Structure formats: structure tokens, C-alpha cells
Amino acid sequence: MARPHAASIVEDAWHRQVDSVLRGRGWQTRIVAHTGYATEDWARVLGRVLLTRRPQRGERADVGATTAELRSAEDERRGWRAFITAPAMNVPVTITLGDKTVHTRTDRSGYIDTKVRGHRLAPGWHEARLTSVDAEDNTAAVMVVGADETFGLISDIDDTVISTSLPRPMIAAWNTFVKSENARHVVPGMATMYRDLLAEHPGAPMVYLSTGAWNTAPTLTRFLRRHGYPPGPLLLTDWGPTNTGWFRSGQDHKRACLHRLANEFPGIRWVLVGDDGQHDPKIYGDFAEQRPGTVAAIAIRELTPSEQVLSHGIPVSLEEFTPARDRHEKEVPVCRAGDGYGLVRLLQLALGQRARES
């Protein structure tokens, strides 16, 4: 096995030091549960274990908080607090789902990403119970997809369902670390589009795929629920050092997740939804070429000129500089519009046409 990168060695040493200091001060572990997904044979259960201070006399811990328990409701929604976390490394965790119980441990950043086989659960929504040492039990929602399901939705988040003006550093930092989650803007019509498409395919999976940090998952989940988006797992990433370098590649994360979902659900043809502010058109187009028959359609939300400037500093889409923009559109329909109301009409026409042709 190759020697870990210096970045991960430094980060692990820092985490061990923080762990030792905080446990010495009486801090305990807290389980943060994330939504998972499953087939009828296996389930992918996601979560994280963090260190949190013990409530003082007269104080009450809020299990649903995103950081330390004792915060006001407004402070809990200040994004920067979600990034001030202390991961609990190598902590034993027991997962119970249906008829199956498995034992695992958190990774170097406190994450749980475990497959549970033989759960014997029917398609639909279920709960996995997560338990750990000196932590209050928590439950993670798990979406079991039926073996006969052939349709699914994968959606980007930033500038696709939420207007965030990424990736300009100063604006992104302000939106992520300072602004209240209630001040973030929803992209018009996207929730309606997802609900309409899923209404035609009951039981189809809805997956949210983003380069955002796992720390923001509770905030994003509340935002999506409040604005009427269908529930589904969030596939985010862990910002910071890795075993191979100082920084993670957001594009590589999206590509890896797309191919993993294609392998795990070989019978599903996906509708991929993103925006033209970053790299979604190229990533989705490459995936459609590499996985013939896996993509039913691609929907691209077109940013306005002002959003394009905020996103990457120029008033036109990055696609304008990609000569092979339409190379995949002969096989996979690509719909483009400024919001969900425009996209849903185009998608329904495109999907209906493909259904008639097949």
C-alpha cells in the first residue's frame, strides 16, 4: 500500500490532538445521520460521528442541531458553525437495518459509509438505527429502490436548486459561512419539476449530487424540505486533505458518484440535472458517452448573464468555449432553460419522444 500523502498525515495528527484534548475536557460523541439508499439486497448507510461538549446542568441538547447543541435557533443556521467540528476517529458504530445488524468504525474524518446486506426490506423508506459509545442513538433514513425500477433523477445543488453564486471565493464564503439559511434563494420551478417527474414514476430514486461539504448536509436537508423538494440522499464530499493530495477534486467526486450509481442500479436510466455555470454539461455529456443507455436525458439550467459573472467572472456560459458541446446530444436529449418551469416541459416532451421511439 502506498504511503499516505503528507496532507493526510498532518490532518490525522491534528485530529488526534484535538480528540485527546476535547475528551480530556469531558466531550462526548454525537452521531449525525445522513440519508442513504438501497436495493432489496443491500443498503448504503451514511453518517458521521463528531465530538460535542457535555450539556451543563439545566441545559438541553438539541439532537437536530448541526454543531454544538446549545445554540439559538438563528445561530444554528449560520453556516460557518457547521464547519467548526471535531471528528471522532476510529469509533465503533453499530448499524441495525431490518433483520441485519453490522458493526463498523468511523474513518479518519469520522464518517460512516457502510453497506448492509441481507436487510430483507421492501421498497420504500425505512430507518437504520445507529449506536455508538457514549452517544445518543440516532436514525438514518434509507430509500430502498425496487428491482423493477427503471427511472431515476440525479440533481446538482449549487445554482441548480439553490442560487449560491459559486465558485467565486468571496461570494461563496459569504453564502456558506455567514448568511442565514433562510436568506438563500431557491431556483424557481425546480421543486415542481422534480415532483411532476416523480409523480409519473412512483418509487423512482431522487439523488442530490454536489461538490459541497458534508458539514452542510443538515442545512441543505432543511432547505430542500422547506421548499418542497422530494426527499432523497445527498452525496456530498469531505473538503480538505486526502490520502493523495491537499485538496479534493469536485469534478472527480461527481464522476465517481455517477459511475457508482450506474453500477449499483444497472436497470435505471437517469435524468441528470445541472447548470451551465461550472462543469455539469461536460461531466454529464462524458458520462452519457461512457455509459450508453444509462442516461435518459440531461437537463441544464441556464444561468442569467449576471449569475454567470458571479459564478465565473464572465457573462457567458463556459459551454461557449467547448467546441464539442453537442457531441452527445444525438444520442441523449439535452434540454436547456432558465428555470424548472421551462425545463419540465422540455423534459416531458423529450422523455415522451424517447418512450415512443423505444
Domains assigned to the chain: 6-144 (2.60.40.10), 151-357 (3.40.50.1000)
Q: Tell me, what's the pLDDT at 9?
A: 63
Going from the C-alpha of 165 to that of each of 231, 302, 321, the distances in angstroms are: 24, 13, 20
Amino acid at 212: G
Q: Tell me, what's the pLDDT at 144?
A: 98
- Which residue matches cell numbers 439553490? 162
- Which residue matches cell numbers 414514476? 201
Per-residue pLDDT of the chain (358 residues; tens, 9 = 90+): 456 556 666 666 766 777 777 777 878 899 999 999 999 999 999 999 999 876 544 433 333 333 333 343 434 444 545 556 788 989 999 999 999 999 999 998 899 999 999 999 999 999 999 999 889 999 999 999 999 999 999 999 988 998 865 554 544 455 555 455 555 689 999 999 999 999 999 999 999 999 888 888 888 898 999 999 999 999 998 755 555 544 566 789 999 999 999 999 999 999 999 998 878 999 999 999 999 999 999 999 998 776 666 555 555 455 544 544 555 556 899 999 999 999 999 999 999 876 666 6
Rounded to two decimals, what is the model's pTM? 0.83
Of 341, 340, 336, 331, give the one whose Cα is nearest residue 320.
336
Length of the chain: 358
Beta-bridged to residue 126, according to DSSP, are 142
Q: Tell me, what's the pLDDT at 356?
A: 63
CA angle 31, 123, 348 (to 5 degrees): 105
Q: Tell me, what's the pLDDT at 116?
A: 97
Start-to-end Cα distance in the chain: 47
